[in-house]
Structure formats: structure tokens, C-alpha cells
Structure 1
Amino acid sequence: MAALGRVIARGNLSRYSAGSKSATSRFEARLRERLKAKHVLTVNSGTSALISALAAAGIGPGDEVLVPAYTWVATAIAPLAVGAVPVLVDINESLTIDPQDIERKITPNTKAIIPVHMRNLVCDMDAVMAIAGRRKLIVIEDACQAVGVSYRGQSAGTIGKAGAFSFNHHKNINAGEGGAVITNDDRIFTRARMYHDVGSYIREQEFEGNEPIFAGVNFRASELTGAVLLAQLSRLDPLLHRLRKRREVMSEQLSKSKRIRISPHNDPANAVALSVLFERVQDAKAFAAHRGVERLIDTGRHVYTNWEPIFAQRSFHPRMDPYKWACRDISYSAEMCRRTLDILERTCYISLGPQYPLALIGLQARKLAALTS
């Protein structure tokens, strides 16, 4: 409230009118330092961050972009916004994109991969980057659901060519809506800044001189968003610490059960989220009936079979249809990623309750373990 009050009192709600006092610019500087990244660009949503990153990386009509079949639909819609088409890839038991299925889905038209760090669960970025390097593909990390999370010493979102964060209501830090593009590449940053701001060419900004001007859109964030995010940034690491401790307590109890398996994690030493895997669907259903547990297939909106805009393959105008620009058949079906559905049907995500005392989480852990003993 105090941060918002200062912005309102100054009367400069646009970051570009706030000058050296810009809360948004200060947030970007502090986030760059936290991530050890060269560039951070605040935008108005995680979706806008993905679209800006793809546009900045030169993804466009005729290109295929590999996306996991378990993510928020924005991951698949972002390629359409730049004229490319999404190709769906199975996840593995880590709930993130399966590197083996990436290899199977690559075609001569594949240009990029968007690995998604779902629910604070990191992808196998070593494998993804190895494939991308070998096949000359661009990696745009969707770290919207993993702000601040690390993978083997690197911050999620800083490993690929560019990364995308979301700051909507459900994320690790939030401003209701908001997002950011993360990159260590000067040209990607310049192009993302140009794309996200239709008036970029009138700003006096470093790096703009190294890229020919092109028409952008308006994905700018206001000073109100920047102020809220700046005020919240200091809570990020304490939040992740609480999640890590609670995962340790919960996994210690659940690992004693003979009826479930802790889902594999691509960086267990830094894990801040927890899911468990059952052999039988009915056991997962029963477990999900308890407080603090949800079976992932039941979350619906993150499952590819519910992505109606993707299955419809329809654009706002028939001549602006990326599927026609692809000049080949791109098809989707409810069974195309059956392995993903099977994993989601048998996997339960457990809330780690960072807002609750650790002792209470320990009690919950013992109760859940007793249910599966």
C-alpha cells in the first residue's frame, strides 16, 4: 500500500514518465540481480512475455513450436500469436516435458521448444538444451509458474535463449496481472522491448540502435504494477525457503508408504513442490478426496484435451490463420498424448501450505502417510 501510495502521489503512472524514480525499472534491476540475468523486461502478463520472447527470437509463420501437453493454454496459444503453430509433446512422471518425446516430435519445420516449469517443478533443462543444441532449436523457457526457482544452480528462465515469468494472482509474487521477459541476449532484449511497446522508437534507450525498427504492440506494464512487484520481491526467497522445508517434512513421511511413489524431480536438492504417483487410478482418486491434495487430471484447464481454442484451429480472421500458413496438416486429438493423460490420472499434487506453521504441515504429512500405509 505504501509503495502504491508513493507512485500515486507522484502522479506518474506510466513507467516512461516516472524517469529515474520508476518503480518498474527498479524492480527490473533488482530482479536481474536476483536471477543473475543480463536483461529483464516487465510486461503486462505471462502470456505477453511468451509472445514477446517468441517474436524477439524470430519465430513466425511456417514454424513449429514444441510445447508440453500439460500447461496453461497460453503456452500453446503464444506461438499462434506470432504465426507459428504449436506441436504437443508428452510429459514424463516429473510433470514436465519429456525429452524423449521432444526427439520424436521434431520435424524439418521445428524452430523452437517451450519447456514449462509447471507448479514450481523444473524441467530436465540439461536434456532439453542438449537436444536444442544438437538440432539447432531455440529454447524459450516458460517459467511463469516457477518465479525464483532454481535448476542446478541456475534460475529457471535464464537457461534458454529467453524466459517468461508471470505475476498473476496465483504466482510466487504477484500483482494481479503482470509478466516479464528474461534474457542474456542483447538482440533478444532489444527486439522484445521494441515488440512490447508500440512507441519504443521514441524512447531514449540503450541497445535500440542495433536493431532495425519494426511495428510492435502494447504489452507495457504500469508503474502501479512495478510498485507492487518491487514491494513483493523481498518475500520471494523466504517463500521458497518455506516451501523447501515443508517439502522435506512431507516427503520424509510419504516416502515411507508402500502404495505411492514420490514423483521424480529434476533437481531434488532444490525442490519446492511435491507430487505423488499411484499405480492405480482409483487410489489416486481416493487420495485426492483429502484436504490439501488434488489429482492433476481433475484440474482440467491445464490438460491439453480442454484447450478448445487449439483444437478449433480457428483464428479471428480466416486470412490470419497460422494453420494455413503452415502449408501442411497440423492435427490434434484427445488421444494424441495418452501418456500425459495416464500420468495425470495417477498423480496427486500436494499443497505445501507455506502460510501454515511447519508443525501443522508435519501433522498433515503424518495423516496423509497413514492413509497410504
Structure 2
Amino acid sequence: MSRVLAHGQLLRYSRGERGYTAKFEAKLAEKIGVDHVLTVNSGTNALITSLAAAGVGPGDEVLVPAYTWVSSALAPLAVGAVPVLVNINDSLTIDPAEIERRITPQTKAIIPVHMLNRPCDMDAIMEIARRHNLVVVEDACQSVGVEYKGRRLGSIGDMAAFSFNHFKNLTSGEGGAVLTNDERLFVRARMYHDPGSFIRGHERSNEPLFSAMNFKVSELTGAVLHAQLSRLDPLLERMRARYPLMASAFEGVEYCRISPHSDPDNAVALSVIFDTAEQAKAFAEARGVERLIDTDRHVFTNWEAVLTKRAFHPKMNPHNWAAREIDYSAEQYETTLDILARTCRIALGAQFPIAIMRQRQKALRRAVLAISSRG
């Protein structure tokens, strides 16, 4: 960052390919295994940019899991489409069987969200999408760098969104990225994120210029991300190494089980699902544990702006031109609410020495066994 300040060129495109943002994009593309990366100013705007680039708009429906950060549902609204919520399964990710049930003639895209570093069942999702000619935008904001069956998340769908906010695997405080292997989608994303794209000296394209937003980052953000990138894989490896240790706390316990994982050999996240919500609530009193229903910011029942179908202006509300009334009643999503009420997330403590995590494993073992003694 000091070099950026010394140069005095803080604009993203001021130094071209020599800039830190461009260098970061090239290195991230290589690491994830995609042809194109575009850095933007948030994960939310990465989702919006991806949908706009893919041509999702008024009259379209976008399938979104009922357990995610609210931006996954707000992004379709931002491009004039409407989100259709889909139940999750025990993996804490969108249920492919429920995707099939929610598809209508208006469905244009699926946003599978890799929650809490847990990959969706992308094999099943991509098969469904190809069969129904749907766009897949991976929301990998909470799982930057995570692997799924030999590929990195964000390299599987048509497009993907990363977030680099303070709580993510790779952080610049705020920031995000759009990823794709499709040249046309990349060009459209680059246009949409920058109203001045026509003066940047980009390689000429046959794609007609259209009106745009301003989601660019500065070179300061690019410099921070460039410096952070080398820390990503060591972080994930520490979580991967701690997974079997922490999972061993639940061996032989009949009233809870490890939540299923779409690629258990690469697991870097641990959660357990109990037989009852009361057992999960009791276990959540332990250090380093949180019951997912209690982290209400990710539960659809708290997304007031989505559920009330309000927009900043009535004539800009996508629900007014949707082909049908979208029902967000909680009764449709009892499966999701039940899973979240019975599931606890276990911190893997990548920031702590392994000796401390061994102590925590013993504490978790005592806590889970104590639930049995409570009857």
C-alpha cells in the first residue's frame, strides 16, 4: 500500500496492467482456475454485476436459498428480477431436489450459496441448470478458495461472486470480485461495473456498450488484496487440519451427527445436527459454538426488505411486473427453519495454535456428553 501512496495513483486503471489490482486479478484467476476476474467494491455488487452481465432482468425469477446473507436475495431485485426462496438440506446449502420443484417458465438463474465454507452439491446443480437452460451464479462470498472435488469454488458456474469484507477468508475490509470463464460475460461485467469503461483502453469488443453503475475499487484495495492472497491457502490448510480433531468430539454420540458435506475430503468447516432443537440450544452454550437459527442475520425470516416486497420507489419494484405473486410465507420453509434450529456451527480456530484447539476439543466432548445426562 505504501508504494501505491508513493506513486500517488490511487485510481484502479491509472497504472494499467502494472497496477496492483490488475496483478491481483491475474493471480486470483490462476489460483481459482478461471479465465477472468474483475475486482469490485463488495460481494453484493459482485452478485449484481454477475446477474446483469448474464442478462437477468425484469420478469425473471432467480432461485436463492432461504439460508444466506440477505444480499443473495437483494441482488436479483437490483436488476429487476425477483428472488424465489428455496429450502436447504442438512448440508446447510440449497437442496437440488427443491430447486427442481421451484423452477417455473420464468426461472432464469440459480444462485447456489456456499455457506460457511461449505460447498453446494455443484454436480447436481449444474446438471439441473443445463437441463433447464438456467444461468448459475455461484455465491462463493463465504468460501473464497475452498475446493470441491478437485476444483475451486467460483470456477464451476457460469459466473461467481467473491466477497472480501472483514469476515471473509481473504479480506480488504470491503471488496468483492466477479469470476467467469466466459469472455462475453466478462466484457459485460466490466462494462456494468464502470461507467467509464469506454475510455479505459480495453481491447475492442463486439458487445454494444450499455448504461452502467460504478462498482470500481481503488488501487488501495487492490494492493491490500494482492498482499493478502499468499495467506489464503495456508489459512484453509489450517482449517482442514483442525477439522478431524474437532469432529472427533462427537464420535459415538447417538443424538447428534456431523452435518453432511458435499466434499468431505476437503472439508474446512464443521457443524453438527442434533435430534432436537433443545439439544442444539443447550450445546450452543459451549465456547466456540453457535446455533444457526440464533444467527438471525442469515435466516430469511429476518429479511424485512425482501419479505415486505418494498422498493425505494413503487414504480421501481420488480414485484409489480413479476409474472406471478411470490409467496415468502414461513410455512413453506419449515424444513430450513427446523434444520437451522437443530444445527450448531463449530469454530475450527485457524487463528489458534493446535494445542489450544485440543483443549477446546475436550471441552466440546464434555459439553456434548453432558446433554445426555440432562435427559
TM category (shorter chain) comes to over 0.9
Match of 1:127 among 124, 129, 132: 124
Q: Deviations over 1:89-109 (max 9, x none)?
A: 000000000001001101111
| Counterpart residue number, 1:338 | 334
| Counterpart residue number, 2:82 | 85
| Counterpart residue number, 2:15 | 18
Identical counterparts, % of pairs: 63
Determine whether 1:27 maps to 2:24. yes
Determine whether 1:306 maps to 2:302. yes
| Counterpart residue number, 1:233 | 229
Work out the CA distance in 2 between the residues paired with 1:254 and 1:11: 55
Task: Judge conservation of contact 1:258–1:372 (CA < 8 Å) in 2.
Answer: no
Q: CA deviation at 1:274?
A: 0.3
| Counterpart residue number, 1:277 | 273
Q: CA deviation at 1:249?
A: 0.8
**Partner SS for 2:327:** coil
Q: CA deviation at 1:185?
A: 0.2
**Partner SS for 1:217:** coil
Q: CA deviation at 1:360?
A: 1.5
Q: CA deviation at 1:256?
A: 3.2
Please show how residues 307-322 of structure 1 align to structure 2 within 5 Å: 307-322=303-318
Query: Which stretch of structure 1 is more off in the superposition, 233-242 or 253-262?
Result: 253-262
Q: CA deviation at 1:36?
A: 1.3
Query: Which stretch of structure 1 is more off in the superposition, 327-336 or 135-144?
Result: 327-336
| Counterpart residue number, 1:356 | 352
**Partner SS for 1:133:** helix
| Counterpart residue number, 1:60 | 57
Determine whether 1:205 maps to 2:210. no
Q: Which amino acid letter does the alignment assign opposite residue 188 of structure 1?
A: L
Task: Judge conservation of contact 2:106–2:323 (CA < 8 Å) in 1.
Answer: no
Q: Which amino acid letter does the alignment assign opposite residue 349 of structure 2?
A: G
Match of 2:149 among 139, 142, 152: 152
Work out the CA distance in 1 between the residues paired with 2:245 and 2:294: 26
Query: Which stretch of structure 1 is more off in the superposition, 237-246 or 10-19?
Result: 10-19
| Counterpart residue number, 2:190 | 193
Work out the CA distance in 1 between the residues paired with 2:253 and 2:354: 21
Q: CA deviation at 1:315?
A: 1.1
Q: CA deviation at 1:205?
A: 1.0
Task: Judge conservation of contact 1:139–1:161 (CA < 8 Å) in 2.
Answer: yes
| Counterpart residue number, 1:252 | 248
Work out the CA distance in 2 between the residues paired with 1:47 and 1:179: 8
Work out the CA distance in 2 between the residues paired with 1:12 and 1:319: 41
5+ long unaligned stretches in structure 1: none
Q: Deviations over 1:29-56 (max 9, x none)?
A: 1101101110000000000000000000
| Counterpart residue number, 1:103 | 100
Compared with structure 1, are the counterparts of its residues 38 and 85 closer, same or farther at alpha carbon in structure 2 (3 Å cutoff)?
same
Q: Deviations over 1:220-250 (max 9, x none)?
A: 0110100000000000000000000111111
| Counterpart residue number, 1:163 | 160
**Partner SS for 1:209:** coil
Query: Which stretch of structure 1 is more off in the superposition, 360-369 or 235-244?
Result: 360-369
TM-score normalised to structure 1 length: 0.97
Q: CA deviation at 1:294?
A: 0.1
Q: CA deviation at 1:167?
A: 0.1
**Partner SS for 1:103:** helix
| Counterpart residue number, 2:210 | 214
Work out the CA distance in 2 between the residues paired with 1:65 and 1:20: 35
Task: Judge conservation of contact 2:59–2:80 (CA < 8 Å) in 1.
Answer: yes
5+ long unaligned stretches in structure 2: 370-375
Q: CA deviation at 1:370?
A: 2.5
Please show how residues 174-185 of structure 1 align to structure 2 within 5 Å: 174-185=171-182
Q: Which amino acid letter does the alignment assign opposite residue 243 of structure 2?
A: R
Q: Which amino acid letter does the alignment assign opposite residue 41 of structure 1?
A: L
Task: Judge conservation of contact 2:52–2:192 (CA < 8 Å) in 1.
Answer: yes
Work out the CA distance in 1 between the residues paired with 2:175 and 2:199: 23
Q: Deviations over 1:192-219 (max 9, x none)?
A: 000000111111113x412011011100
Work out the CA distance in 1 between the residues paired with 2:187 and 2:134: 20
Q: CA deviation at 1:147?
A: 0.2
Determine whether 1:371 maps to 2:367. yes
Work out the CA distance in 1 between the residues paired with 2:17 and 2:205: 21
Task: Judge conservation of contact 2:243–2:268 (CA < 8 Å) in 1.
Answer: yes
Q: CA RMSD in A?
A: 0.9
Q: Which amino acid letter does the alignment assign opposite residue 273 of structure 2?
A: L
Work out the CA distance in 2 between the residues paired with 1:95 and 1:210: 41
Task: Judge conservation of contact 1:157–1:164 (CA < 8 Å) in 2.
Answer: yes
TM-score normalised to structure 2 length: 0.97
Q: Runs in 1 of length 4+ with deviation above 4 angstroms? A: none
Work out the CA distance in 2 between the residues paired with 1:20 and 1:124: 36
Match of 2:111 among 111, 114, 122: 114
**Partner SS for 2:297:** coil
